[in-house]
Amino acid sequence: MDDATSTGPAAGDDPDLDLVLERIVSASPEDLWRGWTEPALLTRWFTPTPWVTVRAEVDPRPGGVFRTVVRSPEGEESDGSGCVLAAEPGRRFVWTNTLGPGFRPVELDDGDFPFTVELTFTPVEGGTRYRAVARHASAGTAAMHAEMGFHDGWGAALDQLLGVLTAD
């Protein structure tokens, strides 16, 4: 864990619909941006162990692909083709699983639910305020995502990302 951990709504968030992970980390905004947008880095941290990310494809511009193929401990693979919505290098990265490349709508698999992730990397003394918000269409899917372990999972993945950035 880094210096501080807090979760909660901020301006523009909806506490009934959004899940928030916010932490002050020692990595730079530029390195966090690289970790999210360079496939060779993304595959090393995106899924908390024992899950693994076997493939990633990222075109960090609006309409570009954000695709990850993840593998469960049982060896089952899941291919998620998402779309980049906003990309401000070193500052902000937004993507959704409801669209694919070129903003084309995606048919979600049974059991999947639509969400949008907004990441912001704000420079602060000694590092970065890392903020990940998952936005949902309904309180029901937000609650389901929370019960699936959003905070622990995204926190563990962030720890992995920080480990990858330190190792490099």
Residues of the shown chain interacting with its own copies in the complex, contacts defined by CB under 8 A: 12, 14, 17, 62-63, 85-86, 94, 96, 98-99, 102-107, 114-116, 118, 135-138
Our CB check for its own copies shows the closer of 44 and 136 to be 136
Cβ-Cβ contacts under 8 Å for 162 (sequence gap 6 or more): 2, 25, 26, 27
Shortest distance in whole angstroms from residue 121 CB to its own copies: 18
Our CB check for its own copies shows the closer of 83 and 165 to be 83
Shortest distance in whole angstroms from residue 88 CB to its own copies: 11
Shortest distance in whole angstroms from residue 103 CB to its own copies: 5
